[in-house]
Structure 1
Amino acid sequence: MRSYVLGASAIALGVPLPLMAHSAEADDAARAILVNASRSSEPLATEDYPGSVSVISSEDIALRQVRDVADVLRDVPGVAVSGVAGQTQLRLRGSEANHVLVLVDGIEVSDPFAGEFEIGSLQAEIGSSIEVLRGPQSALYGSDAIGGVIAYCSASGREAPGVSARLEAGSFGTVNAAARAGFAGGAHEFALGATLVSTDGVPNARGGTRDIGRDGLTLSARGSVDPAAGVRLRFAGRYVRSEGQFNDQDFDSSSPTFGYVIDSPDTRFEQDAIYALAGLNVAALDGRWTHDFSGQLADIRRDSFGPFGRSFGHEGQRLKASYVSSYELGGPAFARSLTFAADVERESFRNTDPFGFAFTGWRSARNVGLVGEYRAASELFDFSAAIRHDLNNRFADATTFRVAGAIQAAPATRIRAAYGTGIKNPGFYELYGYVDGRFIGNADLKPEKSTGWEAGIDQSLGGALRLSATWFDSELEHEIFTDYPAPDYLASPANREAMSKQKGVELSAHARIGPQVTLDAAYSWLDAEEDGIEEVRRPGNIASAVLTWRAPGDAGSATLIVRHNGATDDLAFTDPSYVPITVRLHAYTLVNLAAEARVTSRIRAFGRVENLLDETYEQVFSFVSPGRSVIAGLRVTL
């Protein structure tokens, strides 16, 4: 199962990530720039953004030895993660998983079939970073951004020049490798990356013996060139190959394990995805007026296999073209900007039913989005307003907006608030159903619509402690849920007439405990109800703490990570009618320990223990998650 991983490991060994020397300046740099918080092509300083945002820097990812991006998102307030083999979901502020827009190097990567991105396929590349914008962002990005935006950014050749790599191995037959090369000149930069993950896995059925392994390969490239003054051409692309085993639920109603996950020999999945973006940016009037043209592609194919061959499959494609024009109106003391954006998008999808029972022709949807955005910033306040109008060939036209402001109430105190609306169009699987006939589509579904507000405060205490607190409150109208009408009890989606409500508190802190020790902590309290009933897979309490020690002279480091996931409801299909019943999943706490040491000026040895206390837990009903694992490896920089 690891043939191509093992074949490439020798290449990866010998060339990785240098651990940055930590300082207050490094902290400020890690939080200085946001790329995706505005439709303007100009980066936005975090201190000028009036909304709720978290930045996971490349240093954070390196110190915590993150491999699956979903894991580090557990350290972000407001984010809930639940995963099984082949499907890991994110929920922001109690939203659905398909209400979260995921961007990878500016490319929308969600699968048109489900309308969401399988975040478990995203592996942390050397030098990468992550931005998390919480709260409705449909005014900037349209459908899919009700809960917020998660933007993953690989490092450019200018940000991280040179060649680096890592190789590691450990428990459960795990072998991981990554390599990266970055180059930069006066008018160009270029970066290439490769990431490979492989594990034999462990059983994930209660009492099961079948190991659930996976392999993943990511190849990426990005770069830019300035052919003339004020002109920049850029591109980004990646290929992702994922494959692995999974277990099915027991569908034999006479079995004592009916509805539970059981060992399912020969069940596996394969997924191939190609993403690409090309753009042209032209600046005029001494850089004050910019025009940006871009086109992007997402092409995803997924197949499932059983004992008798391919059992299910689908493929989808997204083509998107954008034009963004931004004009800077003011100077440094009172900066203002006006931005206009136009997005033209076409999504296509088809079933690839191997049995010939389902319609296998292409279905498509087209959307045109027009965006207007205004931003203003001074030493005392920041303000932003955005409005978007979407014209869709399947659904009624929709208008969304967002207004946000922040005031510097005192030298170390910032108060902020935001109000906005969001929209989510039904996905293809909701409109047309599954191949196997157990889930019947509903072509009359209406888009989901949300309205929400937030208020927060950011406080600094002497430069050694930063605190942030946010209260949010939102409502979702026309929520799509799954109904099981008698007498056949076949699942079918419908729009709920009652409101779905989400409210909660997000707290975060960053403390410097002496010259070599820092502490990052986050806590979220959530009350999410659908028609007055607690929504599933949305813990009421989530917390994390990351304690990091760095040796003097950049000789090494140690990081202790504690992540707590509170008890939450889930659905179990243990009734012969196939109508789900609600079950309670227990709370769990995961403890990880990561450390590294400098061997030579170019080589570092590292290791980590994940699930140090060997916690037994389930993120999804009856799917058992892995126990303790130990990983060790080398990183080299040239």
Structure 2
Amino acid sequence: MFKTGFVSLIAIAAATPAFAQPDPEPAAAPADDQIVVTASRSGEGIPIDQLAASVTVIDAEALEQRQTRIVSDVLRDVPGVSVSRVGAVGAQTQIRIRGSESNHVLVLIDGIEAADPYYGEYDFGTLIADPSARIEVLRGQQSSLYGSDAIGGVINYITLSGAEAPGLSARGEAGSFGTISSAARAAGTSGTFDYAVSGSWYHTDGTPTARGGTRDIGSDSVGASAKLNWKPSDTFRLTGVLRYSHTAADNNNSESNPASPNFGLIVDSPGVRFVNDGYYGLLAAELTAMDGRWINTLSGQFADTTRTGYTLSGVDYGDKGRRYKGSFTSSFRFDTASLTHRITGAVDVEREEFENTTPGTGSPFDPFRGRRSTDNVGLVAQYELTAGAFTGGASVRRDENNRFADTTTWRVQGGYRLPTDTRIHAAYGTGVKNPGYYELYGYSEDTYIGNPNLRPEQSEGWEAGVEQRFLDGNATIGATYFDSTLTDEIYTAYPAPNFVATPANRATESKQHGVELYASIRPSSQFRLDAAYTHLKARENGILEVRRPGDIASVNATVSSADQRLSGTLTVRYNGRIRDVAYTDRNYVPVDVSLKPFTLVNLNAQFRITDKVSIFGRVENLFDVDYEEVFGYATPGIAAYGGLRIGL
């Protein structure tokens, strides 16, 4: 049942094919014309068809056509990516790439390393979509470029500059479950400056996340971003980025009373909630010389996150994490008769600070009472080569750390385009992930004890793929096979006699391998099709890994009228069977559970009333599928939304 009277209007709008943006869009560029910045430390964008690495770009057009409000939702359309959200919008959301763990994915927001330093990973439940943004997802081991965290890959969420997407826009919508959201953006250029300022707000009363529960789990999320560029000459540019993120969300706990028949299950928990605030900033100066062939960049950035959990009694837990990072990169490109070489060197100096603010707790093994810091210096060398139809390169990184053993990671890759417009590519690389503060020093009496003797996790893997273009480059299909091995994996042990959870390093190997298939077809501005499929086998010590579906697929199809006033988008997403664990055993030993496969269908529509005004609507979970992607957490049923967009 819908929970708002606004649904009737929305359902009417959503039943009509969706309409284009207020201003007519030109025909979409071929996918292979896209520029990727994440795959190189040079600071220079690379055409996607010259990359030997596996990368997917979700451009601003795709985000708008799919009416993306929650960034993690659209990541479900990327090959190799699985998403796990604990029930409700705003709740903890984890992203895994190619069977790696969620803290094995490095997340950048406008170039800022965004993971919470305390937990060692980024919670995608705190990220709502900005107007005019794009996402680059680089898969495979990338620690040789970015250091710790990049075992599975890198996700770079990029807001567009004022020069890339000028204009004023505002959007408002409402719909099921008491949901209201809005966004506004002002961007443009003025002489040597360009600017982009945007803000988004998402409120929902939510739905129950406990099986058979009645407590709606709602949330409020706010995102604000400012990006400024000053380019007083052709050789110098100064860039500044500021970002604020706020999430206040309800939550439910599991039943902890061993006498209850619901022991270990998610139950209604009145008053349980959390607040997460994040502040991020970056300042970068870029100086070029020799007709743009020599690029030098000096940058500084920070991330400051605070999370506090509450019960009816007051503060339940809390933590703070801060990261300060300075980088210098120098990249030189030189050409010979038929070759292009690029050599890049980089230095990253980073400090992470951690603080446990939970009242009345603190590990008895931690004399610093929850305050710690870690320093790291990373040295990067990268070589890139283009020789006609061949592209390739190699990178190596040395990380010197004051808490863990120093580490060297590396990667080599190459690709070749045949005369038939067929491209083959392959890569081999290594990765590393340092333990997080909570794994090292976290403490909760009789429940969890950290392990300060943990070692970093190590990964090594390879991939090989083939890609075929046709329709004059407006269509691409491809397949990639990948294979990785993880050693020193950090897992949760329950040692006798007390069986209190504590992390430890495995002595055995964990393996992940699979196949990614993808297709992109854009023959004209009136039609766009994007499809992806992943088959994955991920084994931890020979046992199937949790929360990693064996099969994932998605299809997004958009059709527009000839005058671009009317368009409609159909989204179909499939998740195969998932293994998870339940803590329903009264000895606190995890029990295996199997979550059934599910398919979700979304349908949306847009109609441009005038050159400045458009209306839109969408239906999510069109067939009201009952599913779980994390054990015990109920998920929303069918929902409808609609609203108005104005662009100047």
Same fold? TM cut 0.5 = yes
- Within 5 A, what are the aligned runs for 1:585-600? 585-600=595-610
Match of 1:47 in 2: 49
| Separation in structure 2 between the aligned mates of residue 386 and residue 20 of structure 1, nearest angstrom | 42
Report the number of matched residues.
Answer: 621
| 1:219 pairs with one of 221, 224, 227 | 224
Percent of residue pairs bearing the same amino acid type: 50
Structure 2 Cα separation of the partners of residues 488 and 19 of structure 1: 65
- Partner of residue 423, structure 1: 432
CA distance in 2, matches of 1:521, 1:31: 18
Encode CA deviations 1:358-406: one digit per residue, 9 max, x unaligned.
5644201110000000001133110111000000001111000010100
RMSD: 1.5
Match of 1:11 in 2: none
Aligned pair 1:65/2:71, yes or no?
A: no
For 1:515 and 1:156, locate their aligned partners in 2 and report how far apart those are by CA, in whole Å: 23
Q: 1:510 aligns with which of 508, 512, 520?
A: 520
Q: Give me the TM-score of the superposition, normalised by structure 1.
A: 0.95
1:112-127, aligned counterparts within 5 Å? Answer: 112-127=117-132
Measure, in 2, the Cα distance between the counterparts of 1:539 and 1:201.
26
- 1:10 aligns to what? none
For 1:81-131, what per-residue CA distance to the aligned partner results, in whole angstroms no more than 9, with x for missing partners? 010142000000000000000000000000011111011111111110000
Preserved contact between residue 361 and residue 443 of structure 2 (Cα < 8 Å): no
The 5 Å alignment of 1:298-309 reads: 298-309=303-314
Q: Is the 8 A contact 1:458 1:469 kept in 2?
A: yes
Choose from 450, 454, 465 the match for 1:445.
454
Given residue 466 of structure 1, which amino acid in structure 2 is its aligned partner?
T
Shift of the 67–20 alpha-carbon distance from structure 1 to 2, 3 Å rule, reads farther
The within-5 A match list for 1:202-217 is 202-217=207-222
Q: Is it true that 1:143 corresponds to 2:148 in the alignment?
A: yes
Question: 1:329 and 1:357 mapped to 2: Cα distance?
Answer: 55
Residue correspondence of structure 1 range 431-580 to structure 2 within 5 A: 431-463=440-472, 465-512=475-522, 516-580=526-590
Residue of structure 1 equivalent to 2:282: 277
Report if the CA contact (8 A) 2:340-2:385 is conserved.
yes
Structure 2: distance between partners of 1:436 and 1:201: 32
Task: Letter of the 1:401 partner, please give it.
Answer: W
CA deviation profile, 1:413-462 (whole Å, cap 9, x unmatched): 00000000000000001101234551111111110000000000010133
SS at match of 2:482: strand
Structure 1 residues 226-305: aligned runs within 5 Å: 226-305=231-310
Identify the residue that residue 80 of structure 1 maps to in structure 2. 82
| Displacement after TM superposition at 1:508 (Å) | 0.4
Structure 2: gaps (5+ residues):
1-19
Q: Distance in 2 between matches of 1:229 and 1:599?
A: 41
Return the alpha-carbon distance in structure 1 between the equivalents of residues 524 and 228 of structure 2. Answer: 39
Structure 1 residue 545 displacement after superposition: 0.7
1:340-351 alignment to 2 at 5 Å?
Answer: 340-351=345-356
- Local SS of the residue matching 1:624: coil
Of 105, 109, 122 in structure 2, the residue corresponding to residue 104 of structure 1 is: 109
Q: Work out whether residues 352 and 360 of structure 1, in 8 Å CA contact, stay in contact via their aligned partners in 2.
A: no
Q: Is the alpha carbon distance of 1:405 and 1:542 closer, same or farther for their aligned partners in structure 2, counting shifts above 3 Å?
A: same
Is the 1:165–1:180 Cα contact (8 Å) retained in structure 2? yes
Shift of 1:356: 4.7
**In structure 2, do the counterparts of structure 1 residues 475 and 162 end up closer, same or farther at CA, with 3 Å as the change threshold?**
same
Determine helix, strand or coil for the equivalent of 2:539: strand
For residue 563 of structure 2, give the secondary structure of its aligned residue in structure 1.
helix
Deviation, 1:22, is 5.1
Q: What one-letter code is carried by the residue in structure 2 that aligns with 1:490?
A: V
For 1:152 and 1:438, locate their aligned partners in 2 and report how far apart those are by CA, in whole Å: 36
User: Which amino acid letter does the alignment assign opposite residue 221 of structure 2?
Assistant: G
Deviation at 1:186, TM superposition (A): 4.0
Unpaired runs of 5+ in structure 1?
1-15
Structure 1 residue 230, shift from structure 2 partner: 0.8
What does 1:20-39 correspond to in 2, within 5 Å? 21=25, 23=27, 26-28=28-30, 31-39=33-41
Give the letter for the 1:223 counterpart.
Answer: L
Q: Measure the CA separation in 2 of the matches of 1:429 and 1:421.
A: 25
Compute the displacement of 1:173 (Å): 0.4
Q: For residues 516-559 of structure 1, what are the alpha-carbon distances to aligned partners after superposition, in whole Å with 9 as ceiling and x for unaligned?
A: 33321110000000110000000000000111111111112100
**Structure 1 match to 2:414:** 405
Contact kept, 8 Å, 2:31 with 2:520, in 1: the verdict is no
Aligned counterparts, 1:167-178, within 5 A: 167-178=172-183
Question: Which residue in the other structure is 1:4 paired with?
Answer: none
Deviation (angstroms), 1:251? 0.6
- Which range moved further: 323-332 or 408-417? 323-332
Deviations along 1:313-335, one digit per CA (max 9) or x if unpaired, are 00000000000000011169422
Contact 1:17/1:636 (CA < 8 Å) preserved in 2? no
By how many angstroms is 1:39 displaced? 0.2
Aligned partners of 1:17 and 1:165 also within 8 Å: no
SS across alignment from 1:172: helix
Distance 1:422 1:29 in 2: 29
The CA deviation at 1:488 is 0.7
SS of residue in 1 equivalent to 2:30: helix
Instruction: Determine the structure 1 residue equivalent to 2:382.
Output: 373
Deviations 1:280-309 (Å, cap 9, x if unpaired)? 111122221111000000000000000100
Letter in 1 for 2:174: A
What code does the residue aligned with 2:265 have? Y
Matched, 1:184 2:189: yes
SS at match of 1:620: coil
Describe the SS at the equivalent of 2:439. helix
Alpha carbons of structure 1 residues 501 and 170: separation in structure 2 relative to 1, 3 Å:
same
Question: Within 2, Cα distance between the matches of 1:513 and 1:182?
Answer: 30
**Using a 3 Å threshold, how does the CA distance of structure 1 residues 275 and 125 change in structure 2: closer, same or farther?**
same
> Could you tell me which residue of structure 2 aligns to residue 132 of structure 1?
137
- Matching residue within 369, 380, 388 for 2:397: 388
Amino acid at match of 1:343: D
Q: Given the alignment, which residue of 423, 434, 441 partners 1:414?
A: 423
Is the 2:362–2:442 contact (alpha carbons within 8 Å) kept by the matching residues of 1? no
| Counterpart-to-counterpart distance in 2, 1:552 and 1:17 | 14
1:554 aligns to what SS in structure 2? coil
SS of the residue corresponding to residue 619 of structure 1 reads coil
SS in 2 for 1:407: strand
Letter in 2 for 1:235: G
CA distance in 1, matches of 2:523, 2:330: 45
- The SS at the match of 1:60 is helix
Q: Which of 317, 324, 327 does residue 319 from structure 1 map onto?
A: 324
TM-score by length of 2: 0.94
2: CA distance between counterparts of 1:19 and 1:345? Answer: 43
SS at match of 2:49: helix
Provide the rounded CA distance (Å) in 2 between the counterparts of 1:593 and 1:72.
Answer: 14
Contact 2:431 2:459 in 1 (8 A): yes
Give the letter for the 2:76 counterpart. Answer: R
Distance in 2 between the 1:203 and 1:251 partners?
A: 19
Give the match for residue 3 of structure 2: none
Task: Give CA-to-partner distance per residue, 1:217-272, whole Å, 9 cap, x none.
Answer: 11110111023441111111101110010000001111100000000000000011
- Indicate if the aligned counterparts of 1:17 and 1:164 stay in contact, CA closer than 8 A: no
Checking the alignment, whether the CA contact within 8 Å between 1:546 and 1:562 is kept in structure 2 is yes
